[in-house]
């Protein structure tokens, strides 16, 4: 074998090695970009889905003000509406058959309590159809039992 053919052989090997390296690098790069694409296709931040839709399907925590308002709306809509009464309406319930009173701007229907009151019927009857705040507070203000008993009869608030 002559020197010439040795050189040719070496150059051929060099070309094959360099070519192989170049080819390896190229395919490696391509698979990396493929991987990136795969990640970007399936990772949550890049999915072109609106936050609203994500919330509906409970994928993410609700963060937008819109969704918070929606939650508040749901909460309030399940709560019973607060009734408002005028003093005029209260004054029409001034008998043993129907006894309403106002104490600290809240309206109470005391009808059921009249014949159960330990202090006597007349005391409760004296505040039917009117604002009984002063009378009640003078006798029972700050007393635990009467205050607790009163809570059970609340039907709404006084319309100011």
Query: Which spans of this chain sit near ligand HEM (rule: CB under 6 A)?
Result: 110, 113, 117-119, 123-124, 127, 132, 135-136, 139-140, 145-146, 149-150
Q: How far is the CB of 105 from ligand HEM (least distance, A)?
A: 14
Q: Which is nearer to ligand HEM, 88 or 122 (CB)?
A: 122
Q: How far is the CB of 150 from ligand HEM (least distance, A)?
A: 4
Q: Which is nearer to ligand HEM, 3 or 138 (CB)?
A: 138
Q: Which is nearer to ligand HEM, 9 or 119 (CB)?
A: 119
Beta-sheet pairing, 106-109 with 154-158: antiparallel
Cα–Cα distance for residue pair 30/35, rounded to 1 Å: 9
DSSP labels, 53-82: HHHHTTSS---SHHHHHHHHHHHHHHSPPP
Residue spans of alpha helices (H) in the chain: 3-42, 51-56, 65-78, 87-91, 121-125, 133-140, 144-151
Q: Which is nearer to ligand HEM, 85 or 136 (CB)?
A: 136
Q: How far is the CB of 87 from ligand HEM (least distance, A)?
A: 16
Cα–Cα distance for residue pair 110/132, rounded to 1 Å: 11
Q: How far is the CB of 86 from ligand HEM (least distance, A)?
A: 20
């Amino acid at each position: 074998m002559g020197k010439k053919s040795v050189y040719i052989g070496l150059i051929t090997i060099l070309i094959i090695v360099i070519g192989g390296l170049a080819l390896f690098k190229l395919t490696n790069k391509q698979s990396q970009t493929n991987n990136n694409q795969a990640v970007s296709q399936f990772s949550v931040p890049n999915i072109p889905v609106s936050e609203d839709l994500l919330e509906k399907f409970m994928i993410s925590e609700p963060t937008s003000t819109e969704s918070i308002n929606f939650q508040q709306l749901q909460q309030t809509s399940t709560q019973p509406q607060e009734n408002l009464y005028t003093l005029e309406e209260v004054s029409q319930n001034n008998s043993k058959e129907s006894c309403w009173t106002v104490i600290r701007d809240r309206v109470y229907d005391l009808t059921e309590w009249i014949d159960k009151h330990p202090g006597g019927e007349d005391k409760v009857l004296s505040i039917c159809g009117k604002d009984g705040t002063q009378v009640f507070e003078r006798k029972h203000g700050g007393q635990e039992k009467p205050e607790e008993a009163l809570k059970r009869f609340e039907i709404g608030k006084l319309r100011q």
